[in-house]
Structures are given as structure tokens and as C-alpha cells.
Amino acid sequence: MQRYNLIDFIGQYHRNSGSPNTYCSESLDRSVILRVRTNPQPHQTKYYLVYRVGDSKSHYLSALWNSTNTSENGLSQYIITDTQGQKGLVQIDMFTLSIKKP
């Protein structure tokens, strides 16, 4: 299993025009990709994230759990976790995906 810390992914990622589900951060040299499960099992979320460092292969990042918080700006908000159980907040709008500490 790939180990990672959520702190390594905190920041803003901008939508890639060539692949609309890919969000890139040039300063971190990372990409975060939003994926959709077509037939999720009852214990799975419909949406999840994978990441890629540079041009390497993709690795699973986290499921996107619905957040009970609502945003003033109309952003979609989700909760994610890393391999150590640390939680983070993901906000997605039309052009950016932001990962923050809750």
C-alpha cells in the first residue's frame, strides 16, 4: 500500500484544459484526478481522487465523503483522509480543486 501524508497535497490545483477531470499544481509538481465509480458498492463513495507526481503512474488518494458543511460560495465540499487517518477538506468549483486542513 502506498503511504502518503495529506500535508503533501494541501494547495490549489487548476483544471487541465485537455482532461477536464485532472487538476494540476505546477508548484507541487502533482496532479489530482477526480474519478467516478459507475457502480459503487454500498460501502463505497461514488467519487474518489487519485494522484500523480510528475509523469509517474497514478495512485489512489482518497474517497470523497460528503461534507455536512455548506460553503458560502456554492462550492462542492468533501472530506478526504490520508493513510494515517488525518482528515482534509476538498473544495471543487468550475476551475479549481483545493485541498485544505479542516
Which tens digits make up the pLDDT trace of 43-72? Answer: 889 999 999 998 889 999 999 998 776 555
Residues in the chain where the model's pLDDT stays below 70: 1, 69-74
Give residue 70's pLDDT.
59
Q: Which secondary-structure segment (H or E) carries 4?
A: none
Give residue 17's pLDDT.
82
Give residue 52's pLDDT.
92
Give residue 74's pLDDT.
67
Interatomic CA distance for residues 93 and 65, integer angstroms: 16
Edge-to-edge strands of the sheet including 65-66? 59-63, 47-53, 30-36, 22-25, 11-15, 96-100, 87-92, 76-81, 65-66
Give residue 98's pLDDT.
94
Question: Measured between alpha carbons, how far apart are the two ends of the chain, in Å?
Answer: 25
The domain limits of the chain are 6-100
